[in-house]
């Protein structure tokens, strides 16, 4: 790779003495046919402010740009190992390339369903078919828990008998779960969402009353959770989804079913803010998302429900009807890639092993995906390629 970017970035104002220095500390994390490239901006920006950063893959020289770290490089080939270099551009031209990141290998997004018993299953989200056994949850409880994830690690928290346990798995590697730490408040039926680095757990029932507590963890670092803030209403049996910056909590119940939707900025601790309302008040529903759209499906509200709603995560407002699940059920779990959402398990009123899928960008009824290895409800799900990454 050359020491400087292509000549097309050299303008009439080019002055190598006033170009920015190279970014430092370049790292990359792989997703589904993409990678997120993080870096530290140079202390010396040159003769003018930096207007953009460019991340370049090797092999392929696939390039993406952004105003700050991280930069997401798309169009990569799953199964191919890549490194990345970053350079900065200002009015006087391009700076030098950074040192290369470590090697990462993009892979098709994997969905993981855990709980409702000890079983953990996995599927490849882009490929319909029955789930495969992943391993077992090894820390009690194994029902009424929730899950969130980065591109590499899935985290399960809370659960029946108002538990504070957090456990984790490495999504790409089948195995039993390992201990992560503890929530700040023991509770069952909370909800969780995540960015690429931080997971947030909200709501639940502590054995006496519903709670509005939100906790957060750094997904890559085991340890106990830290208080984040409070939901607008204490409730249990809610669901959550996220973009890379915003988490959205929907539904739940107190003395009755709720249609409330709240939102948070994942990187900034503080109390949740009202977002809008679901089309149908219900609890024990599932939530998943692309980078821009959140989807809530199923639930309990006067019986099992097959409703699917959606919201545009960046824009507050009421949810819109999306379509219907193949089977009305509650106590189900949901996960997603950037393209497809999956809803698995539940009670309808018998235990279900059904997995449905939707294309998140296209409204319509869900389609059969396959079956879980074990029919169950009050489970949780996460994935390596969801909208929060």
Domain of 66: which CATH number? Answer: 2.60.40.10
Residue 297 within a domain: yes
Which structural domain, as residue segments, surrounds residue 73? 7-94
Question: Domain check: are 88 and 145 in the same one?
Answer: no
Question: Domain check: are 191 and 60 in the same one?
Answer: no
The pLDDT of residue 1 is 42
Question: Domain check: are 51 and 127 in the same one?
Answer: no
Question: Domain check: are 241 and 344 in the same one?
Answer: yes
Domain of 378: which CATH number? Answer: 2.120.10.80
Question: Domain check: are 146 and 40 in the same one?
Answer: no
Residue 100 within a domain: no
Question: Domain check: are 181 and 247 in the same one?
Answer: yes
Q: Select from 94, 123, 139 the last residue of a domain.
A: 94
Question: Domain check: are 127 and 12 in the same one?
Answer: no
Task: Report the number of distinct structural domains present in the chain.
Answer: 2
Residue 194 within a domain: yes
Residue 47 within a domain: yes
Residue that the structure tokens 């997971």 belong to: 199
Question: Domain check: are 195 and 69 in the same one?
Answer: no
Question: Domain check: are 123 and 80 in the same one?
Answer: no
Q: Select from 64, 94, 124 the last residue of a domain.
A: 94
Residue 2 within a domain: no
Question: Domain check: are 72 and 159 in the same one?
Answer: no
Distance of CA 274 to the CA centre of its chain: 21
**Residue 20 DSSP symbol:** P
Cα torsion 292, 297, 301, 305 to 10°: value is 150
Q: Convert the pLDDT of each residue in 18-55 to its tens digit.
A: 899 999 999 988 888 888 899 999 999 999 999 999 99
At 8, give phi and psi (nearest 5°).
-60, -15
Residue 371 within a domain: yes
Partners of 257 in beta bridges = 253
Question: Domain check: are 116 and 57 in the same one?
Answer: no
The pLDDT of residue 67 is 95
**Residue 387 DSSP symbol:** T
Q: Select from 39, 61, 94 the last residue of a domain.
A: 94
Q: Convert the pLDDT of each residue in 204-237 to its tens digit.
A: 999 999 999 999 999 999 999 999 999 999 999 9
The pLDDT of residue 2 is 42
Question: Domain check: are 128 and 256 in the same one?
Answer: yes
The pLDDT of residue 73 is 94
Residues of the chain with pLDDT under 70: 1-12
CA gap 297, 224 in Å, rounded? 30
Residue 79 within a domain: yes
Residue 102 within a domain: no
Task: For 71-139, give the secondary structure using H, E and C.
Answer: EEEECCCCCCCEEEEEEEEECCEECCCCCCCCCECCCCCEEEEEECCCEEEEEECCCCCCCEEEEECCC
């Amino acid at each position: 790779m050359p020491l400087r970017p292509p000549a097309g970035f050299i303008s009439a104002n080019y002055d190598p003495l006033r170009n920015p220095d190279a970014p430092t500390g370049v790292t990359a994390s792989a997703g589904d046919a993409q990678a997120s490239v993080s870096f530290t901006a140079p202390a010396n920006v040159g003769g003018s402010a930096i207007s953009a950063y460019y991340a370049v893959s090797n092999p392929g020289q696939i390039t993406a740009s952004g105003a700050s770290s991280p930069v997401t490089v798309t169009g990569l080939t799953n199964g191919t190992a890549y490194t990345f270099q970053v350079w900065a551009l200002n009015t006087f031209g391009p700076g030098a390339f950074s040192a290369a990141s470590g090697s990462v290998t993009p892979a098709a997004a994997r969905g993981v369903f855990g709980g409702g018993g000890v079983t953990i299953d996995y599927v490849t989200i882009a490929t319909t078919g029955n789930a495969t056994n992943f391993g077992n949850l090894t820390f009690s409880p194994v029902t009424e828990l929730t899950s969130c994830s980065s591109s590499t690690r899935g985290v399960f928290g809370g659960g029946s008998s108002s538990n504070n346990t957090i456990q984790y798995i490495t999504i790409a590697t089948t195995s039993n779960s390992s201990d992560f730490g503890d929530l700040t408040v023991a509770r069952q039926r909370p909800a969780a969402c995540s960015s690429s680095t931080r997971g947030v757990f909200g709501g639940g029932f502590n054995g006496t009353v519903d709670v509005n507590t939100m906790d957060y963890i750094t997904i890559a670092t085991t340890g106990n959770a830290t208080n984040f803030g409070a939901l607008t209403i204490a409730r249990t049996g809610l669901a959550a989804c996220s973009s890379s910056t915003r988490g959205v909590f929907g539904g739940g119940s107190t003395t009755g079913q709720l249609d409330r939707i709240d939102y948070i900025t994942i990187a900034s601790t503080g109390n949740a803010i009202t977002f809008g309302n679901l089309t149908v008040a219900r609890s024990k529903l599932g939530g998943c998302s692309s980078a821009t759209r959140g989807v809530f499906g199923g639930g309990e509200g006067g019986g099992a429900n097959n409703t699917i709603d959606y919201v545009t995560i960046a824009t507050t407002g009421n949810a819109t009807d999306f379509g219907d699940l193949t089977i009305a059920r509650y106590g189900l779990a949901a996960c997603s890639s950037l393209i497809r959402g999956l809803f698995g398990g539940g009670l309808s009123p018998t235990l279900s092993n059904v997995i449905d899928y939707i294309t998140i960008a296209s409204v319509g009824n869900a389609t059969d995906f396959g079956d879980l290895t074990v029919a169950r409800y009050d489970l949780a799900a996460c994935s390596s390629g969801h909208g929060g990454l």
